[in-house]
Every structure is written in structure tokens, then in C-alpha cells.
Structure 1
Amino acid sequence: MISSMHRILSTMAIATLLSASHVRSQEAVADTDVRELKSMTLVWSDEFDGDSLDYSKWGIEVNAFGGGNEELQIYTDRRENVRVEGGSLVIEAHRDNANVNGTQREYSSGRLRTKNRGEWKYGRIEVRAKMPVGQGIWPAIWMLPTDDAYGSWASSGEIDIMEYRGQTPNEVIGTLHYGAPWPKNKYTGAPYQLAEGTFADDFHTFAVDWQEGKITWLVDGKAVQTQTQWESDGGEFPAPFDQRFHLLLNLSVGGHFVGNPDASTTFPQAFLIDYVRVYQ
């Protein structure tokens, strides 16, 4: 992902995620960590009910070189890769040797962001989505700072609402990235597993409830992780998570975090987003 050098380290991240003492997993998260939606106001949303993307809310990124994690896809703005259809945003990966500005790669896919169209400081950011499944398939719902007020990545932070490995379809991961500029960045978080079934069977809702000094992750309305400790070389706590961030949605193919597709991976692969809602 652009601005996400942490992807290079992702294969080592799970041990850090599981051992982080200041991350409270689903067994320990209290109901008081999450505000009730009835106490909040819907300030931004996209229900994807039409037949075309709302460009007042989304920009499609065109990027021939993946996201800095030795990913294999090329991001395009073609309808094959990004479209609104059947009440959902469809981000679809193909094995088609796509060409962008003279660069050809084996796989194509899509990546969108709300930068300069939707940015928020605090709130509940909620996305209802259905995952693809397959070795080397990597959808993500995440947030980056719009202003980089505390310096380059990861001093200004990153909020990963949901990351998913297509080969482990019953598990999602939520992570914070912060600290010093890469390679001295830090990251903490935890995985969450379904008791039965997979995230590819149906739509599920992924959210963060982001408050001053506290961020809680939710899956299908259930609080599964809370973080209350982080840092930034560029400022005092609660920096860097006290600035405006924008949302990104993408589907990657391959890279260190998931490994590359193999003979069992079929294409096309579709990441479906039913809605995005932001409450404050």
C-alpha cells in the first residue's frame, strides 16, 4: 500500500500483535469501550445504491507498482476492477496482464480513497463487506492521515480497521501503526476469529470506535479489541491519532503479508462493500 512500508514487515507482525500487553483482545473488551450509535450522528455515508461510483466521495488510485510490499497487482480505474453493481461497491482482482502507462503486471485490481472528499477526526467508521477467499488474496479497510502533521510514515499514524488473508478466511486483523518514521515504526493489534464459518460466506460489519486516547475495533457490532497506548516521535499523546484521517479500500494480490497466489487460487476475486458509514 502507498505510504505503508509496514507491509514489508507484516510477516513478522503477528508475534508482535499477539504479545502486545496494552492491546485488550475480545476476551477483555468491556461494553463501556463502545458508544451507542443512538448517541451519535451519521455525518458521511455511501450506500452504493446506484449504478456508478460517486466521485464526490471517492477517488480511484491508479498505481502500476502495487503498494510497497512486493504485491503483484496493478491498480486501475477500469470497470473490470472498480464498479458499483447490485447495491455494492465491487473491487475485483483479475489475472489479465493489465497495462497502465506502459507498465504491465500479471494481476489487476482496485484501490479507492476518500482523501480530500471525506476526512474525520474521531468517530465510528463502519464498513459492511464480504471477503473473497484464496491463497494470496488481501483485502483491506484502513485509514491514513491527510496532513502528516507529525512527520512521515509511521510518525503520523495508520489505522487498519480490517486486514484479511484469503487463505485464512475465518480471521481478520486490526492494527495501529505509529512511532518513528520507517524503519523505526511500531505496530500493535490483534486478530479476531469467527467461532464458525468464514468472512467469505456473507457480509460482515467492520468498524472502529475512535475516541480521544482510545480506539476500539468491532466486528458485527461486537467489541473485539481496544488500544489506549501509542506514541509518535512528532508529538505528545494522543498523537498521532488526534488528526484527521481518510479512508482507503483496496484488494491486493500477493506480497509478504499473504504470500503469492498458487494453483488453488481462482480469478477473478471480488471484495464487495455494501456500505460505508461514519458517525460522530
Structure 2
Amino acid sequence: MMKHKKNTSVLLLILLSLLSCKKAGADNGTSTAPTNLVINAVVSSDGSGKVDFTASANNAVSYAYEFGNGDIKTTASGIIAYQYNAGGTNTYTVNVTATSSSSLTVKTSIQVTVTVTASEPKLVWSEEFDKDGAPDPAKWGYDIGTGNNGWGNSELEYYTDRSKNAVVEGGVLKINALKENYNGSAYTSARLLSKDKFAFTYGKVEVRAKLPAGAGTWPAIWMLGSDIATNGWPGCGEIDIMEHLGRTENTIYGTLHYPGHSGGSADGHTTVITDATKAFHIYTLEWTASAVKIYADGVLYHTTINSGSLPFNHDFFLILNVAMGGGFGGSVDPSFTNGTMEVDYIRVYK
């Protein structure tokens, strides 16, 4: 009798232990994938391009949205308000991936048709260069040094933050390239950038500038992807709104660099204008989820069709510089002493 009772007690303990383990496994969700994933979309009817998405699923802790235009965003709640910008009426396939705490996933999709009506772009950032002195430190930082820092093209200048190389005078920014021996370099100049101060995704950029003369000068108004620290060039993407070579005066380059299209195989075109070094001209970028377009004085001369496979769907920052020589700038005229790029304004619209 006592032996039977002891065996019964042991069996009860084993049974309780098994039930406890099963319950613990159910609680921590180590093998539970999200289920019943549902997406709802409410498309604004006012032509703004706004869509309110709501996704829900059992056992989900996060939701990753792929909006069908190359943009991806993640939310813990499943609720997100998204703004489409491509003009006209477009249909997008939106994919949503729900993820559990144990990293198991389930995916589904929905189609949305969105209309964006034409409207006047709004100014979201500008630099008018209307205060004499050093460039505004709230808007601009500097790259300092030579191409040996990892961002050069065998150029000959040493970039500084000195006022003799970059100064605002009379309502314009002046970036001065000078022939002088400085820290082992034969020339000095400046390279200003809005990195960590201003960056944006999509919009219109308008720059009014006058360019330096002289063989070997290489002024540029351009942009780099803000993820360059973690996604090096050309993976981060580069948009050259304007480049000019003193050896081929008045030829303006508009170029995009990205994987498969960098260096000598870059994606771009040129146009010829008059008096690029004697008068101010307007250089424009129009950048959307569907295309990247580059203009000189209102004339379109380069278009790249944008897509989710290209690195032109995230934040970029602005860069202004005058390089000397290098692989693209070419040989410097021995008689060169100084050259200046003057920038009247930079305006960014959305």
C-alpha cells in the first residue's frame, strides 16, 4: 500500500513538471509566428497623396511596410500615416511583414491607388547668404584636409575653414581656390556641407551661382546620401547638380553615381551654356520617387528614372566646393593664382 502511494506521488510530480514546462513554452512564444495579418488603408481624397495604414496580427511585435516606391518604414503599433509624392494617379503594391518576438514572420500585401494633384512647391529650407562673415555654422560644416582623408579624387587642394577660402560678402558665398603652399599642398580651397545639419528626401533644389575660370578648376554643387558612414560610396548614392571643368568652359555636368554607375560609368549628361564664369546661372534638381531630373537655366538635360533598387529614396545632404586638378579636374594652368565660385542662394522646395 505504501509503495503504491509513493509511485503515485512520483507520477503526479512528473505530470506537474511537464505541464509547467508546456505552459512556460507557450508564454515565451519561442515558436509562435504571427497569424491573421490584416491591412487596412484609408486614402485621402483631397489629392494630397496621404494614406493612413493600419496593420494588425496576433503575436506580432512589429510591422515593416514596403510602400511600393522603394521606401520602407517599421512601426511597433502597425499604424502609420504615409505621404506619397509622385504626381498624378498611381497604384502601389504595399507589402507588410509582421514579426513576432521570436523573429518569426508573416507577410501580406494590399494595393492602393493614390492621386497627387499638382500644387506649388513650398520652401522648406534656404540659404540666402545675406549676412557678411563666416558661413552660418547652424547650416554648414567643413571637410578639412586633402583627398588622403578618403573623399578625394587625387585633387591638389587642401580644404580649410579659413575666411580666405570661404566667406560671405555682399550677399553671396565666395569659395576661393588659391595657389599657395599650405600643409604640403600647392593650393587651398573650401568644401562646405550640410551633413548633420540639414538633409531631406525628395524635393526641388535651386542654386544660383557663378563659376570660377581657369584650367584645373573644378567647382561642384552636389549631394551625398546621409547613410554614407554605414553604406559607403557609391552605395549611399551621389547627385551632382552642377559640375564644371575650367578646361572646357561653359560645359555643365549633371551626374548620378550609384552601384554599377560610378566613376567612368556614371549616369549623366552635359549641356552648354554661355558665360558660366562671368554671370550667374540657375542650376536645378527635381527629385521624386519616380525620377531624378537636372536642369540648367530651366532647360532639362538629364533624367534618371528612380526606383526602389536605386539609392535615391532616402535623406541626402548638400555640398559646395571648388576642387583643383585631380582625375576629373585635369591639369592646372601654371598661370592660375585664384578662382572663386560665388553662390547667391540655395533653396529647397517640397
Using the size of structure 2 for normalisation, the TM-score is 0.62
Superposed CA RMSD in Å reads 2.5
Matched, 1:273 2:343: yes
- What percentage of residue pairs aligned between the two structures are identical? 40
Counterpart residue identity of residue 218, structure 1: Y
In the other structure, the counterpart of 2:236 is 156
Contact 1:155 1:180 (8 Å CA) reproduced: no
Map of 1:146 onto structure 2: 226
Distance in 2 (alpha carbons) for counterparts of 1:174 and 1:192: 8
Extract unaligned runs of 5+ from structure 2: 1-87, 89-117
Task: Verify: 1:65 aligned to 2:147, yes or no.
Answer: yes
Counterpart position of 1:216: 293
SS where residue 248 of structure 1 aligns? strand
Code of the residue aligned with 1:120 in structure 2: it is F
Q: In 2, are the aligned partners of 1:91 and 1:271 still within 8 Å (CA)?
A: yes
Matched residues, number: 233
Alignment of 1:1-280 (within 5 A): 39-52=120-133, 53-65=135-147, 67-99=151-183, 104-148=184-228, 151-179=231-259, 187-194=266-273, 197-228=274-305, 237-263=308-334, 265-280=335-350
8 Å CA contact 2:220–2:322 kept in 1: the answer is: yes
Amino acid at match of 2:258: Y
Tell me if structure 1 keeps the 8 A contact 2:147–2:153: no
Deviations 1:63-120 (A, max 9, x none): 2336421110000011110110111100001111023xxxx21100000000111101
Runs of 4+ with deviation above 6 angstroms: none
Larger strand share, 1 or 2:
2
Take 2:281 and 2:167, find their aligned partners in 1: how far apart are those partners? 20
Task: State the one-letter code of the partner of 1:73.
Answer: E
- Name stretches of at least 5 consecutive residues in structure 1 with no aligned partner: 1-31, 231-236
Q: Structure 1 pair 64/136, CA: closer, same or farther in 2 (3 Å)? A: same
Q: Which residue of 2 aligns with 1:20?
A: none
Please say which structure displays the higher CA radius of gyration.
2
Q: Looking at both structures, which has the greater relative contact order when contacts are Cα pairs under 8 Å and sequence separation is at least 6?
A: 1
Secondary structure at 1:167's aligned position in 2?
helix
Contact 2:306 2:312 in 1 (8 A): no
Aligned CA distance change for structure 1 residues 149 and 212 (closer, same or farther; 3 Å): farther
Could you tell me the TM-score, scaled by structure 1's length? 0.77
**Aligned-pair CA distance for 1:180:** 5.5
Cα deviation digits, residues 12-54 of structure 1 (max 9, x gap): xxxxxxxxxxxxxxxxxxxx9xxxx961000000110111211
